[in-house]
A and B are shown apart, each in its own frame.
Chain A
């Protein structure tokens, strides 16, 4: 099973925009090679999690090994690598791509190239891939294969003359895709006799097997019983099981160069398995690790708090369980005067944040409050030290700050011509710097540099709304630059509300401060005394709203028979007040926080 010569192995990834048919094509390839019978096929075999299936997003890399008898009479081993499908997982994508020699670029023949496709295809090109363009949905009346072929050449600069025209849905020309893989993709290279080097592509937690590691062998052989070493951490483990995905897990004796498969080695958490790490033989280690390893670093942070403070321990357990399978998100306990006990959590990006939040509520039945997302700032103090800052509450006093650097991104936005103006205005409002603007037919492609801080503040929602949902967006991190950043504190009757403070560029501070004051005015119910809601930078108030006193609240009838009941009610209300989030003498119901924070997320 593992003595396939390198010349008959092809490792490939599929690059596609959401809905352009990646999963359907994968299903067809699995079916056409007989890896699963028709009866075993469920729709979109590879997307395991409900959430993945619903959103068309793959979070974990997955793979399937196909045996394809080609027209040249030889049977080839085709390893399909399903990569995570979003820019938040750009590093994970790059490691999946590094495990392959080529990619299928799947483009909807009526929709054309989208921003997301573009970012991924550039990554594939960077990984040295041979790329086979595939035009999908050619059976649809709206299909314009010629126009899209031209677009691929113009926008991406790929020769699309030999693009494979298919319909994944109907199964049209799936054979053509398989033949193109065999003929056009280079076979992997590697030396079975050299010291073992295997790329750790991804890992996940299986409740029966423990951690399962997806690997691509570069050199040497990986065997059951072998003692392996992770080159970044130095940790050593004995391999329990070696296998391949057919797509079911099938144990094999060993894996050789060019092959993709899995191992288990009694590893307890994925946090011990860094994506991009190199596995080698503990007794006969390789001298150099494979290139490209980076530890994963959260880009976006926010506070997560249970709505019901009794759920704190449940939240801790749930975060622990999620982290078993996702080492890229970080959490540490924190307390807020406003929200009580919770966790500061770090994510690879906004989508990652959203996915974790949604899984916490869906799989663990937790009701959460999330504070406004913050990016990671670098604060340079006047004394020459530098620190990373991702919680506005931790911002040091202005007098000790020399300057602050903020992260920038390079965003690619594709949008129909008629909405371009609105999109450009949005980008400019968000301190964007235009890097490129090109047209492909009636679609414009704008490349902007933007501060990430402006993107985490409702940018997606605004983009969707100004483009009526037609804009596609993708980004990559693009370094740090100094910015005029200030912390805006929100005060209720003069007391700062920690959970509502945020960091913004000086130019946006006043407008945002005012907008949150206006929102709070609507959200905080009128109380006995009037309430001042203020936004301030340092000691300077930049916005103020007043919530008037409640107009009437008195029991109409209260006689001798009502007194016990009234007193008990009063005592109960006093107890209830103790549980409210109190700021000085002001009670802010949790629902108000929820709404105030939601609107800014």
Chain B
């Protein structure tokens, strides 16, 4: 059976650009909330028309900083989506938020709009680290925002960034234990990476920031999984930890390579139309995107069908991030390729011998050791 559609809605604005972030986010003095609200709704309408009234599994408001959206806009988009698609009663609706006091003050309004899960960009519980990461909030504000989130939403999660410059194993364990103590049933724990074009990239080039080496990174990663599992949160993806059943359904759709539609500037999608799987993306710059929506009903650009081989590669690179791995039958159905036609047999055998991959019961899975080296593994494995 086909997995339900995941709907992603992008709000491209932030109050400030964080130095580690390479997402499609923009800082503006004034934002024409009504204009962007209207454009998002119009584009959603356009996308829904070509997709037909199919089952919807989740909505995710991402950014940028979607907690800067007017709650009415969020409400209107949720209402549109549930009208245009077939929505189950337990539809997962997530909104990303920053834990500043201003945004926390609007949590009730978002809940009222229909949001039932919030994902907070806490990033650290250490004030010095928050300053280094260019965040606008303090650790105390983050804790306060978490408290409001807990009382307001049925589900919540928050993000932390570790393997920061100068961070050692003991320091991270202590911070993580504090975080686990206040976490509900889901955490996203990311190792800091330097992305091209970010503020950190320039500093890194100059040697002004030095990241922990790979061995330290590996030790931090192992310690993270160990601490999280001690608190009952299992790694279900490379950087995501949850109690069983509390996984982000929306993100699982990406990793399981289900259909997802992307609305808003720079949003990507993978949607089945007829027999084809279409890779969609929207114009990145917010204002030109809005102009296009106003003119054409959508800001889509460079849409292209994804070939069988490309589908195979994408499903492998996403699916092996998950602890559950890839269902071989679903792989064949989704890509039109048998798993064996998509991977290098010799690498598979060696990776199994090395304890990186497991194959059996109709699935191919990467072990913890395999996930830790997934990029290198994929380069060798994927044909």
Whether the Cβ atoms of A552 and B221 lie closer than 8 Å is yes
In the bound assembly, the distance between CA atoms of A184 and B117 in angstroms comes to 107
Task: Given A559-B251, A567-B310, A577-B379, check contact A552 B372 (CB 8 Å).
Answer: yes
B322-359 interface bits toward A, Cβ cutoff 8 Å, 1 = contact, 0 = none: 00000000000000000000000011001100101000
User: Which positions 175-219 of chain B face chain A at CB distance < 8 Å?
Assistant: 190-193, 214-215, 217-218
Whether the Cβ atoms of A561 and B262 lie closer than 8 Å is yes
Which residues from chain B contact A549 at a C-beta distance below 8 Å?
354, 373
A556 at interface, CB cutoff 8 A: yes
B57 at interface, CB cutoff 8 A: no
Whether the Cβ atoms of A561 and B267 lie closer than 8 Å is yes
A553 at interface, CB cutoff 8 A: yes
A1 at interface, CB cutoff 8 A: no
* Most chain B beta-carbon contacts within 10 A, residue among A554, A557, A558, A571: A554
Specify which of A529, A553, A574 is in contact with B374 (CB 8 Å cutoff).
Answer: A553
Binds A, one of B34-42, B83-91, B287-295, B312-320: B312-320
Which residues from chain B contact A551 at a C-beta distance below 8 Å?
214-215, 217-218, 372-373
CB of B345, distance to nearest CB on chain A (Å): 12
Task: Given A560-B254, A561-B267, A563-B268, check contact A528 B376 (CB 8 Å).
Answer: yes
Whether the Cβ atoms of A573 and B214 lie closer than 8 Å is no
B380 at interface, CB cutoff 8 A: yes
In the bound assembly, the distance between CA atoms of A189 and B23 in angstroms comes to 90
Which residues from chain A contact B223 at a C-beta distance below 8 Å?
none
Could you list 11 further interchain pairs (A-B, Cβ under 8 angstroms) beyond the known A529-B350, A574-B379?
A528-B351, A528-B376, A552-B218, A553-B374, A555-B374, A555-B375, A561-B8, A561-B262, A564-B281, A570-B313, A570-B378
B269 at interface, CB cutoff 8 A: yes
Specify which of A530, A558, A561, A585 is in contact with B380 (CB 8 Å cutoff).
Answer: A585
A550 at interface, CB cutoff 8 A: yes
Whether the Cβ atoms of A554 and B372 lie closer than 8 Å is yes
Whether the Cβ atoms of A574 and B270 lie closer than 8 Å is no
Task: Given A570-B379, A571-B313, check contact A557 B270 (CB 8 Å).
Answer: no
B143 at interface, CB cutoff 8 A: no
A527 at interface, CB cutoff 8 A: yes
Whether the Cβ atoms of A528 and B238 lie closer than 8 Å is no
Which residues from chain B contact A169 at a C-beta distance below 8 Å?
none
B253-273 interface bits toward A, Cβ cutoff 8 Å, 1 = contact, 0 = none: 110000010100011111000
Specify which of A554, A561, A563, A585 is in contact with B373 (CB 8 Å cutoff).
Answer: A554
Size band of the interface chain B makes with A: 35 or more
Which residues from chain A contact B347 at a C-beta distance below 8 Å?
585
CB of B75, distance to nearest CB on chain A (Å): 23
A566 at interface, CB cutoff 8 A: yes
CB of B134, distance to nearest CB on chain A (Å): 17
In the bound assembly, the distance between CA atoms of A553 and B375 in angstroms comes to 6
In the bound assembly, the distance between CA atoms of A354 and B8 in angstroms comes to 64
Whether the Cβ atoms of B314 and A563 lie closer than 8 Å is yes
What are 28 A-B contacts with C-beta separation under 8 Å? A528-B376, A528-B377, A549-B354, A549-B373, A550-B373, A551-B215, A552-B215, A552-B218, A553-B372, A554-B238, A554-B373, A554-B374, A555-B193, A556-B239, A559-B251, A560-B8, A560-B260, A560-B262, A560-B268, A560-B269, A561-B24, A563-B254, A564-B268, A564-B279, A564-B281, A566-B314, A570-B378, A585-B380
Which residues from chain B contact A553 at a C-beta distance below 8 Å?
214, 372-376
Whether the Cβ atoms of B268 and A556 lie closer than 8 Å is no
B371 at interface, CB cutoff 8 A: yes
Which residues from chain B contact A561 at a C-beta distance below 8 Å?
8, 23-24, 262, 266-268
Which residues from chain A contact B262 at a C-beta distance below 8 Å?
560-561
In the bound assembly, the distance between CA atoms of A326 and B179 in angstroms comes to 74
B321 at interface, CB cutoff 8 A: yes
In the bound assembly, the distance between CA atoms of A585 and B376 in angstroms comes to 12
Which residues from chain B contact A585 at a C-beta distance below 8 Å?
346-347, 350, 380
In the bound assembly, the distance between CA atoms of A528 and B348 in angstroms comes to 12
In the bound assembly, the distance between CA atoms of A559 and B58 in angstroms comes to 15
Closest residue of chain B to A574 (Cβ to Cβ) is B379
B133 at interface, CB cutoff 8 A: no
Whether the Cβ atoms of A550 and B239 lie closer than 8 Å is no
CB of A574, distance to nearest CB on chain B (Å): 6
Closest residue of chain B to A573 (Cβ to Cβ) is B379
Chain A interface residue count, Cβ-Cβ cutoff 8 angstroms? 27
In the bound assembly, the distance between CA atoms of A573 and B317 in angstroms comes to 13
A530-564 interface bits toward B, Cβ cutoff 8 Å, 1 = contact, 0 = none: 10000000000000000001111111111111011
In the bound assembly, the distance between CA atoms of A559 and B240 in angstroms comes to 12
Which residues from chain A contact B130 at a C-beta distance below 8 Å?
none
Closest residue of chain A to B215 (Cβ to Cβ) is A551
CB of A546, distance to nearest CB on chain B (Å): 13
B108 at interface, CB cutoff 8 A: no
Task: Given A558-B238, A560-B262, A567-B310, check contact A550 B268 (CB 8 Å).
Answer: no
Closest residue of chain A to B6 (Cβ to Cβ) is A560
B148 at interface, CB cutoff 8 A: no
Specify which of B191, B251, B376 is in contact with A550 (CB 8 Å cutoff).
Answer: B376
In the bound assembly, the distance between CA atoms of A567 and B315 in angstroms comes to 10
B382 at interface, CB cutoff 8 A: yes
Which residues from chain A contact B372 at a C-beta distance below 8 Å?
551-554
Whether the Cβ atoms of A550 and B214 lie closer than 8 Å is yes
Task: Given A527-B376, A556-B191, check contact A567 B313 (CB 8 Å).
Answer: yes
Specify which of B24, B190, B251, B267 is in contact with A556 (CB 8 Å cutoff).
Answer: B190
Which residues from chain B contact A557 at a C-beta distance below 8 Å?
190, 193, 239
Whether the Cβ atoms of B260 and A570 lie closer than 8 Å is no
Closest residue of chain A to B253 (Cβ to Cβ) is A560
CB of A399, distance to nearest CB on chain B (Å): 33
In the bound assembly, the distance between CA atoms of A553 and B298 in angstroms comes to 38
In the bound assembly, the distance between CA atoms of A557 and B260 in angstroms comes to 18
In the bound assembly, the distance between CA atoms of A551 and B192 in angstroms comes to 16
In the bound assembly, the distance between CA atoms of A585 and B193 in angstroms comes to 28
B293-308 interface bits toward A, Cβ cutoff 8 Å, 1 = contact, 0 = none: 0000000000000000
Whether the Cβ atoms of A552 and B217 lie closer than 8 Å is yes
CB of A585, distance to nearest CB on chain B (Å): 7
Task: Given A561-B268, A570-B313, A571-B313, check contact A556 B350 (CB 8 Å).
Answer: no
In the bound assembly, the distance between CA atoms of A196 and B376 in angstroms comes to 75
In the bound assembly, the distance between CA atoms of A585 and B354 in angstroms comes to 14
Whether the Cβ atoms of A552 and B268 lie closer than 8 Å is no
CB of A572, distance to nearest CB on chain B (Å): 10
In the bound assembly, the distance between CA atoms of A563 and B321 in angstroms comes to 12
Specify which of B214, B314, B375 is in contact with A567 (CB 8 Å cutoff).
Answer: B314
Which residues from chain A contact B6 at a C-beta distance below 8 Å?
560
In the bound assembly, the distance between CA atoms of A550 and B375 in angstroms comes to 11
CB of A567, distance to nearest CB on chain B (Å): 5
In the bound assembly, the distance between CA atoms of A551 and B191 in angstroms comes to 14
CB of B186, distance to nearest CB on chain A (Å): 15
In the bound assembly, the distance between CA atoms of A559 and B193 in angstroms comes to 15
Task: Given A554-B373, A556-B193, check contact A563 B238 (CB 8 Å).
Answer: no
Closest residue of chain B to A572 (Cβ to Cβ) is B379
Which residues from chain A contact B266 at a C-beta distance below 8 Å?
561
CB of B372, distance to nearest CB on chain A (Å): 5
CB of B105, distance to nearest CB on chain A (Å): 28
CB of A535, distance to nearest CB on chain B (Å): 23
Closest residue of chain B to A576 (Cβ to Cβ) is B379
In the bound assembly, the distance between CA atoms of A554 and B239 in angstroms comes to 10
Which residues from chain A contact B270 at a C-beta distance below 8 Å?
560, 563
Closest residue of chain B to A560 (Cβ to Cβ) is B254
Whether the Cβ atoms of B314 and A554 lie closer than 8 Å is no
Closest residue of chain B to A554 (Cβ to Cβ) is B374
Which residues from chain A contact B313 at a C-beta distance below 8 Å?
567, 570-571
A572-593 interface bits toward B, Cβ cutoff 8 Å, 1 = contact, 0 = none: 0110010000000100000000
Specify which of B191, B318, B375 is in contact with A563 (CB 8 Å cutoff).
Answer: B318
In the bound assembly, the distance between CA atoms of A527 and B190 in angstroms comes to 23
Closest residue of chain A to B372 (Cβ to Cβ) is A552
